[in-house]
Amino acid sequence: MSKQDGSSRQVTTGPVDDSATPILHVDMDAFFVSVELLSRPELRGKPVLVGGTAGRGVVSAASYEARRFGVNSAMPMSVALQRCPNAIVLRGDYRKYTEYSKRVMAILGDLTPIVEPLSIDEAFLDVSGARRLHGSPAEIAWTIRDRVRTETGLACSVGVAASKYVAKVASSRAKPDGMLVVPAAETLAFLHPLPVSALWGVGRVTEESLARLGLRTIGDVAAMPPEALERAVGPALAGRLSRLANGIDQREVSLQRSERSVGHETTFGHDLTDPDEIRRALLGLSTNVAARLRKAGLTGRTVVLKLRYGDFRTVTRSRTLGEPTDVARRIYEEAAAALDDLVGDGARVRLIGVRAEQLRPSGGTALWDPDEEWRDAERTIDRVVAKFGRGAVKPAALVGRDGSGAVAGARFRRPLDDDDESGPDRG
């Protein structure tokens, strides 16, 4: 059985049919903040933020006390402090977070060998083969929560369901520090009352498109004729939303976590209006993306440009190449072509990001490779950088400049929803 408290939190409190629910989603609660509070127990119960304060720093994580003021991850720190002036801001320590993440993942690996990490603070598990040793899925979920708390001092929430999607939704409903089992037979009864924003692929823009059709719940989407849904959001997204809304998700928990995109983005200390400055930043980001692709032995076929204006409006544009590449010149040219349509007179640019998608291992070569000379030159630069450090060699346009901006970040990541603006520590 499960119960729902005065908020949207929903947890399992008694016996429940978990016989056909082998998929678990484990999500750490306010992970970065929680790790910091281990050494600062006097801050428990107070609004605490982790992130940068200089210039245009952003919130990496917020305690639940801070979230009550409308603060969330990825929000500009200046906005967060306006909403919650009494918030205590701490600088993050990624090495410490990584160490705790390894400890949590080791606990999960003790209970089942089938663990698929999604990020530093969440993972999917398939416990089909673990029943004989560790009990039913619900019992394993309880064990995980108990061991994580005992062995790390941290709290996590666990969703238990018949599929990955429903398990992830369940863990979010159980937050903080809860466990929710969704019996397979009750999947649609669980999903259909939820808002459309609970569907993967529905961010603010898509939610507004669905709202114009009167679709406000997952049940509304499930009942929508496919043709009408396709006209609203396109055939690819319509098909995915329809399947999820009807509880259909056949993806298995994967032991092989392949990276789906490589990206860099930067938030500037002040809005950029000079087209030359914007292009220099774009060149720096493209150079960094290409270098990371080559280091990982990957190439990308799609180049995605992300642009955030001074009013926080965010747009993305993608361009797909005939052949995948790991060459900065090619990535920059494609991103710059997309940029031309987005930066007009008077445009104020707050953030630029570049990422490569549709990744595949490098090594396959076309009969005619127009980027061969550039690739050779950039690989030579890689060797120089490996010997003398970053900054030893860079494009002439970037000499004397950082080429990317004041607040930069690089990441290997799985794809986010097309218009999802969530940060790395959503729990």
Residue-wise pLDDT for 357-415, tens only, equals: 888 877 654 444 556 666 667 767 667 666 555 554 555 555 454 444 333 333 333 33
Instruction: Specify whether 239 is located in the same domain as 369.
Output: no
User: What does the pLDDT read at residue 295?
Assistant: 83
pLDDT tens for residues 164-186?
999 999 999 999 999 999 999 99
In this prediction, residue 256 carries a pLDDT of 62
Q: Are residues 197 and 298 in the same domain?
A: no
Q: Can 122 be counted among the known catalytic residues?
A: yes
Q: Is residue 168 part of a domain?
A: yes
Q: Among residues 157, 183, 209, which one ends one of the domains?
A: 183
The mean of the pLDDT values for the chain is 84
Listed in order, strand segments (DSSP E) in 40-155 are 48-51, 59-62, 88-90, 115-119, 122-126
pLDDT digits (tens, 9 = 90+) for 64-76: 999 999 998 888 8
Distance CA 108, CA 26 (A): 9
Is residue 2 included in any domain, yes or no?
no
Q: What is the pLDDT of residues 92-105, one digit of tens each?
A: 898 899 999 999 99
Domain identity same for 18 and 166: yes
2-47 pLDDT, tens digit each: 555 545 789 998 899 999 999 999 999 999 999 999 999 999 999 9
Residue 119's pLDDT band (boundaries 50, 70, 90)? Answer: confident
The mean pLDDT of 124-137, rounded to a whole number, is: 95
Mean pLDDT along residues 46-66: 87
Give the residues across from 119 on adjacent strands: 122
419: pLDDT strictly greater than 70 = no
Residue 3 pLDDT: 55
Residue 410's pLDDT is 37
Rg (CA), the chain: 23
Tally of domains within the chain: 3
CB-based contacts of 191, cutoff 8 Å, min separation 6? 166, 169, 198, 218, 219, 222, 245, 247
Better-predicted residue by pLDDT, 262 or 219: 219
Residues 147 and 203 in one domain: no
Selection from 370, 371, 313, 364 nearest residue 342 by Cα? 313
Binding positions are 27, 121
Spot the catalytic one: 122, 265, 334, 378.
122
Q: Are strands 179-181 and 261-272 parallel, antiparallel or unpaired?
A: unpaired
The encoded tokens of residue 311 equal 């009013």
Q: Residue 385: its pLDDT value, please?
A: 61
Positions at the binding site for Mg(2+): 27, 121
Task: Please indicate, yes or no, whether residues 150 and 221 belong to a single structural domain of this protein.
Answer: no
Span 186-201, average pLDDT: 94
> Cis bond leading into 117, ω under 30°?
no
419 versus 105: the higher-pLDDT residue is: 105
Q: Does residue 424 surpass a pLDDT of 90?
A: no
Structural domain harbouring 102? 13-183
- Residue-wise pLDDT for 256-293, tens only, equals 655 678 899 888 888 999 888 999 999 999 999 998 88
Does the CA dihedral 40-43-45-47 come out positive or negative? negative
Strands, E, within 188-328: which ranges?
Answer: 261-272, 298-309, 314-325
Structure confidence at residue 336 as a pLDDT band (50, 70, 90): very high
Q: Would 352 be classed as within a structural domain?
A: yes
Residues 143 and 88 in one domain: yes
pLDDT in the model for residue 1: 52
Show which of 204, 220, 245 is a domain's final residue. 245
Q: Is pLDDT at 312 greater than 50 in this prediction?
A: yes
Note whether 267 and 361 are same-domain residues.
yes
For the chain, the distance separating the N- and C-terminal CA atoms, rounded to the nearest angstrom, is 24
Look at residue 416 and tell me whether its pLDDT is greater than 50.
Answer: no
> Quick one: pLDDT band at residue 422, thresholds 50, 70, 90?
very low
| Co-location of 115 and 85 in the same domain | yes
| Together in a domain, 178 and 265 | no
| Same domain (yes/no): 321, 391 | yes
CATH number of the domain residue 18 falls in: 3.30.70.270
pLDDT at 405: 39
Same domain? 48 vs 140: yes
370 vs 192 pLDDT, higher one: 192
- CATH number of the domain residue 211 falls in: 1.10.150.20
pLDDT at 118: 86
> What is the value of pTM for the model shown?
0.69
Residues 203, 305: one domain?
Answer: no
Encoded tokens for 74:
């990825």
Percent of the chain with pLDDT over 90: 52
Share of the chain above pLDDT 70, in %: 81
